[in-house]
Amino acid sequence: MKDMLPLYSLARELARDLVFEVDDEVVTLSIRGVLIAKINSNSYNFSFFEVSEDEFILALQTSGYIVYLGIESDNEISEDAYSSIGRILISELMPYVNLLVEKAKSIGYSGVDILLDDDMSPTLKEAMYEILIKHRRGKTPYEQFEIA
């Protein structure tokens, strides 16, 4: 647990509100959760998991880890807006994600844990824990991801 403290601290830095203009409306995206998982791939990738009309998870894969960011919006986000929001989120958040991954590598972290739960909604929390459980069971979260 002591070795994990730097990871929790870095994850805390990701808890922030980001303001965007989407379809001529101001939208605030709040990062409420951070999950990190060691994986067997060094490739780079990203994915979106839509949880509800105003919640989603952005998965950023880099250097043998995948970092899931649980994000809540103050307004509904259309599927069309995800690509433009995704580009901005990735460019804004990758420096922090890279720091988190570098620290995980330096301490030899090889598990999966939720590093931040900043008052996530019940649906977002359920989605993040579903991902956590899938990783702990050695399964991919990309298999039929749905909230009960």
Residue 146 is assigned to a structural domain of this protein: no
Query: Looking at the predicted structure, is the pLDDT value of residue 142 above 80?
Result: no
- Higher per-residue confidence, 77 vs 121: 121
* Token pair belonging to 52: 């509800």
Mean pLDDT value of segment 11-28:
86
pLDDT tens digits, 101-122: 999 999 999 999 999 999 999 9
**pLDDT for 145:** 46
**Structural domain contains residue 145:** no
Is 42 within the bounds of a domain?
A: yes
Do residues 147 and 127 make contact, with C-beta atoms less than 8 angstroms apart? yes
Confidence of residue 26 (pLDDT cuts 50, 70, 90): confident
Residue 24 lies in a domain: yes
Q: What is the mean pLDDT of residues 44-58?
A: 92
Flag whether 144 is in a domain.
Answer: no
| The predicted structure's pLDDT at residue 1 | 53
Cβ pair 70, 114 in contact under 8 A: no
* pLDDT confidence of residue 33: 97
**Is residue 146 over pLDDT 70?**
no
Do the domain assignments include residue 132?
Answer: yes
Please indicate, yes or no, if residue 120 is contained in any of the structural domains: yes
Looking at residue 2, what DSSP letter applies? G
Mean pLDDT, rounded, for 68-97: 88
The domain of 69 spans 4-137
Burial of 46 from C-beta contacts in 10 A (0-12 / 13-18 / 19+): middle
Q: Which of 125, 93, 128 is nearest to 112 (CA)?
A: 128
Q: How far apart are CA 72 and CA 127, in angstroms?
A: 12
Distance from C-alpha of 67 to C-alpha of 37, rounded to nearest angstrom: 7
Across 32-45, average pLDDT: 94
Q: What is the mean pLDDT of residues 92-108?
A: 95
Q: What is the mean pLDDT of residues 73-80?
A: 84
Share of the chain above pLDDT 70, in %: 94
Q: Could you tell me if residue 147 is inside a domain? A: no
Number of structural domains (the chain) is: 1
- ∠ at Cα 48 (136, 9), nearest 5°? 60
